[in-house]
Amino acid sequence: MNLRPDYFAVWPVRVAALREACESWRNTPFRQRSAVKGSGGGVDCAAFIGCCFHECGAVDSLIAVPPYELNHAEHSTESVFRSWFERQEVRARVRRVDESEAHLDGDIVFPQVGRTEHHAGLRIGALVYHIARPSGWCCMSVEQLAFAGYALHASRYRLTA
């Protein structure tokens, strides 16, 4: 069990910095395995989360996610994200949140796309910041996601200090 405190739990200034980092990616298109901010760049959902955590000072270096197939969730019930989050070196900084726990700002959430958790975003309040394919940067309410058919998966992770 990870006894480290949750990074964003009681720190409004940290949440504000995370929100600012998320907003700074506005107008960035989707581009697989990329992390370049702005309309001429591109980013995928995994790199977006890592970059936002890095930009707000939550992690020291950018996070490298293992390679993945773009349409993985359409063909498999095994989550690349789930297996990556369960790796020992990743679990040193994140914890899996029990489904009975209330959402906290900064939670890493999984809008259900396809057959498994193959898409991720950051939840701040009732908003989920994520990079959608093909549109790019998005900020949607939990209700908007559900209406679009992408309800949040019950599982989620939380960055620890």
Residue 91 DSSP class: H
CA 32, 160, 107, 111 dihedral sign is positive
Within a domain: residue 7? no
What one-letter code names the amino acid at 46? A
Its pTM stands at 0.86
Dig out the tokens for 91 from the structure: 């679990």
Contacts of 18 (CB under 8 A, 6+ apart): 8, 52, 53, 56, 58, 105, 106, 122, 124
Query: What is d(CA 30, CA 101) in angstroms, rounded to the nearest whole number?
Result: 31
Dig out the tokens for 55 from the structure: 């930009």
Contacts of 117 (CB under 8 A, 6+ apart): 73, 79, 81, 82, 110, 153, 155
Residue 114, pLDDT score: 60
Within a domain: residue 2? no
Q: Could you tell me how many residues make up the chain?
A: 161
Instruction: Find the domain containing 29 and state its range.
Output: 12-159
Within a domain: residue 68? yes
Within a domain: residue 5? no
Within a domain: residue 3? no
Residue 30 DSSP class: B
Within a domain: residue 64? yes
Number of domains in the chain: 1
Cα separation values, 27 from 18, 22, 37, 138, 153, Å: 17, 11, 8, 9, 26
CATH of the domain at 51: 3.90.1720.10
Q: Give the pLDDT of the chain (161 residues) as one tens digit per residue.
A: 557 789 998 899 999 999 999 999 999 999 988 899 999 999 988 889 999 999 999 988 766 666 666 665 565 666 667 777 777 777 788 888 988 999 999 999 988 766 556 678 999 999 999 988 888 898 999 999 888 877 788 888 899 98
Query: What is d(CA 20, CA 54) in angstroms, rounded to the nearest whole number?
Result: 12
